[in-house]
Amino acid sequence: MAQALEISYLADHPEFIDALAPAIYEHWRHILTEETVEVRRTALMRHLNRDALPIAWVAHTESRVLGTAALRESDLPGREDLMPWLGGVFVLPEFRGRDIGKVLCVAVEKHASRLFNFKTLYLFTLDRQRWYEEMQWRMLEPCQWRGRSGDIMCKDLRAARQRFRADEER
């Protein structure tokens, strides 16, 4: 029998940092050329919070981490005027294509809405615009990150909050 997918605060499972840090480093090292696994580990440790930003969540089974996502004050240098941000959405390669990333995004959205009463959530992406649009994110404006073109997207959490309530009532 397959183990059930759980979503938890990274703060409740800091042991998962040792699996996440090298995988995230490997994924982004072609862009973040100055970064090391230790820099990534330190960044993840800053997310070991439950009620203050930045907060990270992990998708996991009883014994294995599958992915992570975070709620941050800012995630794109130069756009600190927009707050808060969904960032760090990452699913380990062997678990992709199973909607784990979507489940993580919804968890972040729910917490941003309920815990902090944020009205709008932002993100930037270089190449996953269509994937986010499928989850009701909309294009806000183009952006640049490390010399690469991407897009800032946003989501109205007031509308999402109504969907969360309807889903819970079912």
Residue 18 forms part of a structural domain: yes
Residue 57 forms part of a structural domain: yes
Residue 112 forms part of a structural domain: yes
| Burial of 157: CB neighbours in 10 Å, binned 0-12, 13-18, 19+ | buried
Residue 55 forms part of a structural domain: yes
Cα(66)–Cα(103) distance, rounded to whole angstroms?
11
CATH number of the domain bearing residue 41 = 3.40.630.30
pLDDT at position 32 is 86
pLDDT digit of tens for each residue in the chain (170 aa)? 368 999 999 999 999 999 999 999 999 998 888 889 999 999 999 999 999 999 999 999 988 999 999 999 999 999 999 999 999 999 999 999 999 999 999 999 999 999 889 999 999 999 999 999 999 999 999 999 999 999 999 999 987 666 656 666 66
Could you tell me the residue range of the domain that residue 68 belongs to? 6-169
pLDDT at position 166 is 61
Residue 62 forms part of a structural domain: yes
- Domain total for the chain? 1
Residue 1 forms part of a structural domain: no
Residue 146 forms part of a structural domain: yes
